[in-house]
Amino acid sequence: MIRIRGMYFSGTKTTEKVVECIADRLYNELHSIESDLKRASSIDFTPPKARERTYRFDENDVIVFGVPVIAGRVPNVLLGFLDTLAGGGALAIPIVLYGNRNFDDALIELRNILSDKGFRPFAAGAFIGEHSFSRKLAAGRPDEKDLEIAGAFAAKAGQKLLQIVRGEIPYEGPVPVDGQEPIRPYYKPRDRQGNHINILKVKPKLDKSKCDGCGICVHVCPMGSIKPEEPGVVNGICIKCCGCEKLCPQGAMYFDDPGYLYHKEELELGYADRKEPNIFI
Ligand SMILES: Cc1cc2nc3c(=O)[nH]c(=O)nc-3n(C[C@H](O)[C@H](O)[C@H](O)COP(=O)(O)O)c2cc1C
Ligand code: SF4
Ligand code: SF4
C-alpha cells in the first residue's frame, strides 16, 4: 500500500498549488503501474488549529511537504510544530516556494528537519511563487510553465519512488539539494545606507470604508491574529504572509510602513529577472 499526500503551510496559496500539482501528478503517473495506491487527502497546516494536532506517518506514506521561504529559511514560526512530526519512515518530497529572490538555505533546512523527524526525503524542489509582498514580483506564479516543470518532476520522482518501494534501489539518505551547512542566518533586508530594515513589528492596516465584514481575513490568518469582530485590529504575531491583504475580496487590507514599502520596491526592482524552478532527484 502506498498513500500519497500533500502537506503544506501556505499564506497566499502558491505553496498549496505546487504541492497539490506534484501530489496529483505522482498519483496519476503511478496508479496504472501500482494497484495498491491511494491519493490521501492533503493536510493544510496553515490554520493555527491544524498545528495543534500531532501527525504520525509510516513507511506506506509518501508526503509532498511544502513551505514558503521566509528570509531565506523555513518560516521560524513553524519550527515548534515541525518538531512534533513523526515521520515513521515515510518517503518525503520537501518543496519550498520562494518569491524570485532566492531560496538560500530553506530547502536544505526543510530537508534536514524532515530527515531528523524520521522521514526519508528522496527528491526535492524549489519553485517560484508570486512574492507575498508584491503583485508585480513573480506575478501570477506558479504559472503554466512552472506547473509543467512540477509535473515532469513528479513523474521522475515517481519512478525513483517505485524503485525504492520495490527494493530495486536502496534509500541512500537525504537527497542532495542546494544550500549551505551550517545553515546561514535569516536574510535581512537593508536600506540604501546598508542599515537593517526591521519589519518584524509591521502589521497590515484596514480601510474601514472598503470592509464589508465578510471575515475571510480572520479565517485565513495563519497566526489567528485578526480580531473577528474588528479586522482592523491585529493582535499578536503577524508574519507578513499577506494572506489577509491578497485574499480580501474588497482590497481593504494594506501595508503603509515606509521600511516595508521600501523593501518591497527594492525587491521588485532588484529581482525582476525570471528565475526557474530547481529540482533535485
Ligand atoms: C516575511 C516574508 C519573507 C520572505 N522572504 C523571502 C526570501 O527570502 N526569498 C524569496 O525569494 N521570497 C521570500 N518571500 C516570498 C515567499 O517565499 C513567496 O512569495 C512564496 O511563494 C509565498 O508562499 P505562499 O503563497 O504559500 O504563502 C518572503 C515572504 C514573506 C511573507
Ligand atoms: S476580508 Fe476584507 S472585507 Fe472581509 S472582513 Fe477582512 S478586511 Fe473586511
Ligand atoms: S495579519 Fe499578518 S499573519 Fe495574519 S494574514 Fe495578515 S499578513 Fe498574514
> How do residues 21-62 score in pLDDT, each as one tens digit?
999 999 999 999 988 999 999 999 999 999 999 999 999 999
> How do residues 74-133 score in pLDDT, each as one tens digit?
999 999 999 999 999 999 999 999 999 999 999 999 999 999 999 999 999 999 999 999
Centre of ligand 3 to C-alpha 136, Å, is 19
DSSP-derived letter for residue 194 is: S
Mean pLDDT, rounded, of the chain = 97
Q: What is the pTM of this model?
A: 0.98
**Which residue has a Cα nearest atom 3 of ligand 1?**
70
**Which residue has a Cα nearest atom 2 of ligand 2?**
248
| Per-residue pLDDT at 245 exceeds 90 | yes
- Residue to mutate (ligand 1; options 14, 67, 69; most atoms within 8 A of CB): 69
**Which residue has a Cα nearest atom 1 of ligand 3?**
238
For 4, the 3-state DSSP assignment is: strand
Go through the domains of the chain in sequence order and give each one's CATH number.
Answer: 2-183 (3.40.50.360), 205-254 (3.30.70.20)
Which one of the ligands is nearest to 221 CA?
Answer: 3
- Angle at which helices 144-165 and 14-30 pack, to 10 degrees? 50
> How do residues 128-181 score in pLDDT, each as one tens digit?
999 999 999 999 999 999 999 999 999 999 999 999 999 999 999 999 999 999
For 41, list phi and psi in degrees, rounded to 5: -65, 150
**Which residue has a Cα nearest atom 8 of ligand 2?**
211
Centre of ligand 1 to C-alpha 157, Å, is 25
For 124, list phi and psi in degrees, rounded to 5: -155, 160
Cβ(155) – ligand 2 distance below 6 Å: no
| Separation of alpha carbons 156 and 46, rounded Å | 28
Looking at the chain, how many residues does it have? Answer: 281
DSSP-derived letter for residue 86 is: B
Centre of ligand 2 to C-alpha 208, Å, is 9
| Separation of alpha carbons 123 and 107, rounded Å | 11
| Per-residue pLDDT at 11 exceeds 90 | yes
